Structure 1
Amino acid sequence: MYRKKIKELPKDLLPREKALASSLNSLSDAELLALSIGSGVKGLNVIGLADKIISKFGLEGLKNLSIDELTKIKGIGITKALQILAIVELAKRLNEDRERIVLNSPEDVYKYTKNLKNETQEKLICLYTNTSNELLDEKTVAIGSLNVLSIKPRDIFYYALKSNAYGIILIHNHPNGYCKPSQEDILFTDKVKNLAIELGFEILDHIVIGKDGYFSFARENLI
């Protein structure tokens, strides 16, 4: 799909048409970024270019990128780099002004992260909270299938230490549409939970999001 020219793709796969037909909430991260970039390069359409950027840096990584780093990517010149960074700066300012987000239940977590159901790649996101369940930080720590990626626990706990968090909520999506956790999901959760105890943190929940809804490890007494 990424190698085809945009005009060769079905209309229901085009970010602009999807946004107009439904809403911006229906777009994946790559599709939203593609709207800002506007055009791709030879051999890679704008959706593919946007996906390449997010895969390389991660969504959270965009916050710390410089113009020099972006322009090293083929197809991203100064104008496109500034367009991307302008949106990131607006997001930062909105984030600074937002009210405290409190995550008291699996439903709260799902409402906050439900856009993951639109992602085509599996992602592992960590939400870091204080003792009052207020959100302190959010990080995408892995992109790709949990059984393919070698997820290092330090990637999870590094940001917990940095944000001085008490609790950690794991969230990942199943692009195949089913939210039922796999055996690997269960083993992974158990491993992280035990490490968290040793390090003085608490894994509050692990939410698996699919197109059919979500599964909460805490609700099912698996944590």
Structure 2
Amino acid sequence: MAYLKELKVTFTRKRVDDDLLNRPVESPEQVYALFKDMHNETKEKVVVLHLNPQLEILSYEVASIGSAKATLMEPVELYRNAILARASSLIVVHNHPSGTCKPSQADIGIAMRLHELGVIHGMPLQDFIIIGDDAYSSFQEDGRFR
């Protein structure tokens, strides 16, 4: 007898201000307002926002939790779950427990791989945002995705 695996996807809810949702994501500041509490985390964390064609947030997932200095981000995994969520595009939010929001070489490399994969699959990476101590860095604002 063979077995077939059933994929189960569950969703939980996060309480946020009403004015931050139910409208298109228009700026990195809007995303930062939703996830600025990530700067208090003691471990690196990766959160992926799944967006509809109007750039409204459909859902989000905690894609990875690492150590104080690093975390693992597999582009295929991030896009697989975005496809399951029926997203049209995505935003990756990542924290640096050290407090700096300056992208590391690893951040730049993975963000560019995610961007390229998004172009290939027609599901663009809208932004890659790094959260530090009361500040953020946005790859879109810095012009890295041109």
Q: In which range does the TM-score fall when normalised by the shorter chain?
A: 0.7 to 0.9
CA contact (8 A) 1:124 1:142 kept: yes
Match runs of 1:1-223 below 5 Å: 91=13, 100-145=22-67, 148-223=70-145
Query: Across the two proteins, how many residue pairs are aligned to each other?
Result: 135
Residue-by-residue CA offset, 1:139-169 (whole Å, 9 max, x unaligned): 0111115975443222201221112111110
Q: Secondary structure at the match of 2:48?
A: strand
Give the 4+ runs in structure 1 shifted more than 6 A: none
- Higher helix content, 1 or 2: 1
Higher RCO (CA 8 Å, separation ≥ 6 residues): 2
CA distance in 2 between partners of 1:178 and 1:147 (Å)? 12
Unmatched tracts of structure 2, length 5 or more: 1-8
CA distance in 2 between partners of 1:145 and 1:194 (Å)? 26
**RMSD of Structure 2 on Structure 1 (CA):** 2.6
Give the residue type in structure 2 aligned to 1:206: F
Give the residue type in structure 2 aligned to 1:112: L
Percent identity over paired residues: 34
Q: TM-score, normalised by structure 2?
A: 0.81
Residue-by-residue CA offset, 1:107-165 (whole Å, 9 max, x unaligned): 11110111101111100110011121100110011111597544322220122111211
Q: Secondary structure at the match of 1:131?
A: coil
Structure with bigger gyration radius: 1
- Higher strand content, 1 or 2: 2
